[in-house]
Structure 1
């Protein structure tokens, strides 16, 4: 019993000794801070002020990568999405390598450092359509229509959500008795 009591007391002393003491000090000022500071070596993302110029710039960067046949860039806000066109006969690993090379080129560019790169044919085509809508002066309507199309492809269609065309039609199909 005595061993348990001594052990419990030592444990209590250790637990209370590890607590933090409330200090009435202010945090050190940056001038007196002697910690090591590192400069950012990666390019910082620049604020996009001219989306047409940035779009054209990123498309040019992407098309200079071997294997990229074309590129379409859409800039909204301070984010760029670039769809690249590659040969449809390439295998998935080669397409991934090309996409990685484009992303690597963008990483070294202040406008492309946080750009999104896709090699999906459907998304690249939709980006091209959004880009043409923007050039026609319909950026919001074009973007909304394409986003509706993209979301329509993502959302699954459940058989239970379908309604028969004819209200008099039975809800369960008749099964062929020969089966």
Structure 2
């Protein structure tokens, strides 16, 4: 029985390896004839040369949405992060709609096509602080301070990572009874 199973396995492997292509046609001689050329229709991301002008432009686009009270943008490299401050009386579902509307408005702009939009109030405040530090001539220091604060909030505190300081216990009467070394 074992030999029959082994023979069937060997035969199926050899038959599977020697099959012709699925459609039975020979492979094309010139592979460049079968390539499809597609025109790029997504907006191209432009290289950001003046980050402050781009930040101002994206902030104006974001504030053009009716429910957005103000916006703060930070540009680093070719990436922009836009924090929006939305009217406080909106419910959560409407906040998502406003955030989506801002993203749609930014998508139509060549500088905003790959921007990140957040409606988190804390992140918006941190973006405002980073932007203010950049405008005050402290881009790296301000960014590093805010990133340290953000990471400090995100980083979990695990009980197993807490190290107890050495405890200097004063000997009491209970410890001294029966232990002459104390």
Shorter-chain TM-score above 0.5: yes
State the shift of 1:158 in Å. 4.0
Provide the secondary structure at the position in 2 that maps to 1:33: helix
Matches for 1:24-63 after TM superposition, within 5 Å: 28=31, 32-63=32-63
Matches for 1:50-129 after TM superposition, within 5 Å: 50-129=50-129
RMSD of Structure 2 on Structure 1 (CA) = 3.1
Matches for 1:126-145 after TM superposition, within 5 Å: 126-145=126-145
CA distance, structure 1, for counterparts of residue 42 and residue 7 of structure 2 = 57
State the shift of 1:27 in Å. 8.0
The answer for unaligned runs of 5 or more in structure 1 is: 21-25, 171-179
Aligned length: 161
TM-score by length of 2: 0.76
TM-score by length of 1: 0.77
User: What is aligned with 2:152?
Assistant: 152
CA distance, structure 2, for counterparts of residue 41 and residue 140 of structure 1 = 36
The 8 Å contact of residues 45 and 110 in structure 1, kept in 2 or not, is answered as yes
CA distance, structure 2, for counterparts of residue 163 and residue 9 of structure 1 = 64
CA distance, structure 2, for counterparts of residue 139 and residue 5 of structure 1 = 70
State the shift of 1:140 in Å. 0.0
Provide the secondary structure at the position in 2 that maps to 1:95: helix
Cα deviation 1:139-179 (Å, max 9, x = unaligned): 00000000011111111234562757x95589xxxxxxxxx
